Copies of this chain bind each other. A is one copy, B any other.
């Protein structure tokens, strides 16, 4: 496929526009992003400067996409999937949903869905990520509504069995959902983290504008910090151990008090690989949420390694905050 490179002036104007917007001259070596093989169909890049393209010649098709996943994935979904669907002339439509679970191992989730698992349409697939198990439900139908209905029926069955572990669906981000709930409720939040060491604070603040409801947090790794900064009593630390319900509660209530926040989160656990015992194995995490109405604490056992245990704990903590606000909203009625 020897094809000459041709300057695409539309793409050039997009690039110029982008750099004008960020107040810089167009770097010389960026301009080559505007050259394409003659006859290529251009795919716009909503998330960066480099467009993609599709070249069809001599019965062959070449699809060129940008490398960064943040640019590649939306371009693929928006332009390449419809192109391919049309090309292969697929009959009917395919719909899917992804349920994201935390606090349960893949094989345990599979065991609970074993009877649904062997169906062809809708079909269930599992993807393991650190601290998460994704269940993907895919259905084929003659049209959108048939495919969607098949997906929704299966999703409802899975939710009935595993709902307590589901923290997000599809592209939903639990931190954005929690943020919106906090903002709507007028609550601010503060974190006291041991084994997750700042990850809950980091996730909450991934959301632009989170300074509206995120006050701050303490990473209390050493026991001295738990005592001195959060006011966890030395006696409780000694008698119950740093990884205990009582310490999670004292951390949540301590940070709530220290920063004068409406909600305090306390997390303590054993992320591994060291530090586990038969009584307190690696993966054991206590999460407490202190609220205006009292403090709730839960015990979790996260499967996997250090990274997975920590990510799982972050997801679970955000889900606890989410569920608390939703529950409280229901009890108190439609609110202001």
A residues adjacent to B (C-beta < 8 A): 27-30, 67-68, 70, 107-108, 110-111, 114, 127-130, 191, 193, 196-202, 204-206, 208-211, 214-222, 224-225, 228-229, 258-259, 272-274, 306-307, 310
Pairwise interchain contact A221-B196, C-beta atoms closer than 8 A: no
A219 to B229 Cα, complex, angstroms: 13
Given A107-B29, A111-B27, do A272 and B216 touch, yes or no (CB 8 Å)? no
Residues of B within 8 A of A191 (CB): 198, 219
> How many copies, total?
2
Q: Separation in Å of the A130 CB from the closest CB of chain B?
A: 8
Pairwise interchain contact B205-A197, C-beta atoms closer than 8 A: yes
Residues of B within 8 A of A214 (CB): 197, 221-222
Given contacts A29-B107, A215-B224, A229-B229, 20 further A-B contacts (CB under 8 A): A27-B107, A27-B111, A28-B111, A29-B114, A68-B128, A197-B204, A198-B198, A198-B199, A198-B200, A202-B202, A206-B307, A208-B273, A208-B274, A211-B221, A214-B222, A216-B218, A216-B220, A216-B229, A218-B218, A219-B219
A111 to B24 Cα, complex, angstroms: 15
A196 to B204 Cα, complex, angstroms: 11
Pairwise interchain contact B209-A274, C-beta atoms closer than 8 A: yes
Residue of B nearest to A273 (CB): B208
Q: Separation in Å of the A224 CB from the closest CB of chain B?
A: 8
Residues of B within 8 A of A222 (CB): 211, 214-216, 259
Q: Separation in Å of the A175 CB from the closest CB of chain B?
A: 11
List of 9 A-B pairs having minimum Cβ-Cβ separation, nearest first? A198-B198, A198-B201, A216-B225, A197-B205, A217-B219, A201-B219, A198-B202, A27-B107, A216-B221
